[in-house]
Amino acid sequence: MNEHAPIQTNNLEAFWMPFTANRQFKKAPRLLVGAKDMHYTTADGRQLLDATAGLWCVNAGHCRPKITEAIAAQAGQLDYAPAFQMGHPKAFELAARLVSIAPDGLDHVFFTNSGSESVDTALKIALAYQRAKGEGSRFRLIGRERGYHGVNFGGISVGGIVNNRKMFGTLLTGVDHMRHTHDPARNPYPSGELEHGAELADDLLRIATLHDPSTIAAVIVEPVAGSTGVLPPPKGYLQRLREICDQHGILLIFDEVITGYGRMGTPFAADYFGVTPDIMVTAKGLTNGVIPMGAVLVRDSIYDAFMGGGENLIEFAHGYTYSGNPIAAAAGLATLDTYKEEGLFERAKALEPVWADALHSLKGEPHVIDIRTIGLIGGVELEPIAGAPTKRAFAAFLDAYEKGLMIRTTGEIIAMSPPLIVSEAQIGEIVDTLRAVLHRLQ
Ligand SMILES: Cc1ncc(COP(=O)(O)O)c(C=O)c1O
């Protein structure tokens, strides 16, 4: 086939698209062919304002020269280096840089290629750590309803989104779930943390009492649940989880795949909430979404627990061919430089109230039943059409796309997370377009 042939509907068939209604998409494809800063260019030559940072990942905006140049230079200098029993300088440099911006105590970094791999890596570290320190009876992993932790078996086991779980058999055994914290009746239209619901953290205690704490290795939560529709935590909830974990020898894992790298106006959500986990799962914004890469950060005490055997032995039988890949590491370093040089985390912090006010001005518009904002994240929940779940929200997505705005929908919720370079005028444009979309919706 001529590789330059124009894209036709019948040559879209080969690609089985992820998390996509393939048949519907292929009848009316939405193809992106370019991007710069806050905008995408579509195949039909239109500009789309990016209100989602791609998929929650392009935190510094698109095609930033420092990052693209670093990738090109690295590809020409050292394209690949084996990840096992060999190294290259940039992976070590990036790990040290990550430690320098991470909360105190998270001093070691394990590299992966995605959020899903980071989650499964974190769960394996937790189990292996407990065993290494002589507590192999701690085999249980605790997640939470409505949690999203990627799509690998560990992640869907501790995750709490039914459609992501129901097709895949028995999943991991020994997993239990806390209740989710979403309670719009008590916390309507929240901006920032929720007023009510801290007591839901005691679900961990209930589960620990049921199974006995000595069987529990770790609990994993997203500090702000993103993919399930933007659920900020109740005030004091994460602190309470931390206390319970400390009392009972349970590791606390934060999945910061969305909240990491400035999304909350701080390096990590751990900083925003003032709660440091034992293990922190990251990806996405680490390389500005440009090259796949994830990083799992762990406490010294966890790393040290693995370092007791013979020095010639591999301490942790885990890793990926592309762990710390040179081009990804170069992209990561250039991304961290860009965040720092442009003060993007501080910028996000300054914009948080502007973003919150703008989004909350949609209260009272047609079909809107709740709005939730925190950091530079926002969710607008729509009343579902009776008998046609998710149809209205998806119609909003399609209409926004036609009108030059990229949003994302999950269930009945419009979820947004613009690049941290977004201007106040562009925040206004996002909300104006959304308002017009809401008025046109059936
Ligand atoms: C909280 C969280 N964890 C894990 C993942 C999975 O990341 P990936 O799609 O890179 O595997 C995501 C993706 O959106 C996420 O939001």
Q: State the DSSP code for 196.
A: S
Residue 1 inside a domain? The answer is no
Residue 176 and residue 267 share a domain = yes
352 token code pair: 């948080």
Residue 46 exposure: Cα atoms within 13 Å on the Cβ side: 13
Q: Supply 354's token pair.
A: 């502007």
Q: Whose CA is nearest to atom 12 of ligand 1?
A: 150
Whether 277 contacts 254, CB under 8 Å: yes
pLDDT of residue 397 exceeding 50, the answer is yes
pLDDT band at 6 (very low <50, low <70, confident <90, very high): low
Phi-psi category of residue 200: left, alpha or beta, with phi > 0 → left and psi -120 to 50 → alpha: alpha
What separation in Å is there between the alpha carbon of 281 and the centre of ligand 1?
10
**Are residues 223 and 144 located together in one domain of the fold?**
yes
Binding site membership of 255 for ligand 1 (Cβ less than 6 Å): yes
My answer on whether 85 and 226 are in the same domain is yes
pLDDT category, 215, cuts 50, 70, 90? very high
Residues 52 and 183 in one domain: no
For ligand 1, mutation pick of 284, 287, 291 (most atoms within 8 Å of CB): 284
The confidence score (pLDDT) of residue 8 equals: 55
CA 262, 115, 313, 308 torsion-angle sign: positive
265 domain-assigned? yes
Structure tokens at 281: 């799962």
pLDDT(27) > 70: yes
Question: Which residue's CA is the nearest one to ligand 1's atom 7?
Answer: 115
Position 3, amino acid = E
Both structure tokens of 207: 């589960």
The CATH number linked to 22 is 3.90.1150.10
Query: Measured from the CB, is residue 276 less than 6 Å from ligand 1?
Result: no
Instruction: Identify whether residues 360 and 315 lie together within a single domain.
Output: no
- 10 Å Cβ neighbour count for 114? 19
In a domain, 3, yes or no: no
| Pocket flag, ligand 1, residue 226 (CB < 6 Å) | yes
Mutate to test the pocket of ligand 1, among 52, 116, 120, 153 (most ligand atoms within 8 A of CB): 116
Q: Could you tell me the pLDDT band of residue 1, with boundaries at 50, 70 and 90? A: very low
Q: How many independent structural domains does the chain possess? A: 2
Look at residue 151 and tell me if it is in a domain.
yes
Residues 34, 94 within the same domain: no
Same domain, 153 and 244: yes
In the predicted model, is pLDDT for residue 281 greater than 80?
yes
Q: Is 115 in the pocket of ligand 1 (CB under 6 A)?
A: yes
pLDDT tens string 71-101: 999 999 999 999 999 999 999 999 999 999 9
Is the distance from CB of 405 to CB of 414 less than 8 angstroms? no
Do residues 233 and 363 share a domain? Answer: no
Q: How high does pLDDT run on average in the chain?
A: 96
Nearest 5 degrees, angle CA 186-CA 192-CA 198? Answer: 50
Where in the sequence is the domain holding 163, given as residue range(s)? 68-341
The owner of tokens 């619901």 is 197
The strand pair at 106-112 and 294-299 is best described as antiparallel
Gap from CA of 432 to ligand 1 centroid (Å): 29
Residues 301 and 356 in one domain: no
Residue 7 predicted with pLDDT over 60: no
Query: Is 149 touching ligand 1 by the criterion CB < 6 Å?
Result: yes
SS3 at position 208: helix
pLDDT by residue (tens digit) across 36-61?
999 999 999 999 999 999 999 999 99
Spatial distance between the Cα atoms of 91 and 183, rounded to a whole number of angstroms? 42
Of 4-8, 312-316, 429-433, the poorest mean pLDDT is in 4-8
Confidence of residue 427 (pLDDT cuts 50, 70, 90): very high
Mind listing the pLDDT tens digit for each residue in 316-371?
Answer: 999 999 999 999 999 999 999 999 999 999 999 999 999 999 999 999 999 999 99
| Domain end residue (candidates: 320, 341, 362) | 341
The Cα–Cα gap between 74 and 86 comes to 18
Answer for the pair 223, 149: CB distance below 8 angstroms, yes or no: no
Same domain, 152 and 290: yes
Q: What is the pLDDT of residues 290-330, one digit of tens each?
A: 999 999 999 999 999 999 989 999 999 999 999 999 999 99
Concatenate the DSSP letters of all residues of 398-419 into one string.
HHHHHTTEE-EEETTEEEE---
Residue 310 lies in a domain: yes
Same domain, 286 and 367: no
Using the 3D structure, point to which of 318, 341, 364 is the last residue of a domain. Answer: 341
53 & 158 share domain: no
- Number of the ligand 1 atom closest to the C-alpha atom of 225: 1
* Tens digit of each residue's pLDDT (9 = 90 or more) over 167-207: 999 999 999 999 999 999 999 999 999 999 999 999 999 99
Report how far ligand 1's centroid is from the alpha carbon of 407 (Å).
Answer: 17
pLDDT at 2: 46
Q: Does the residue 4 lie in any domain?
A: no
Domain end call among 341, 371, 405: 341
Here the CATH number for the domain that contains residue 211 is: 3.40.640.10
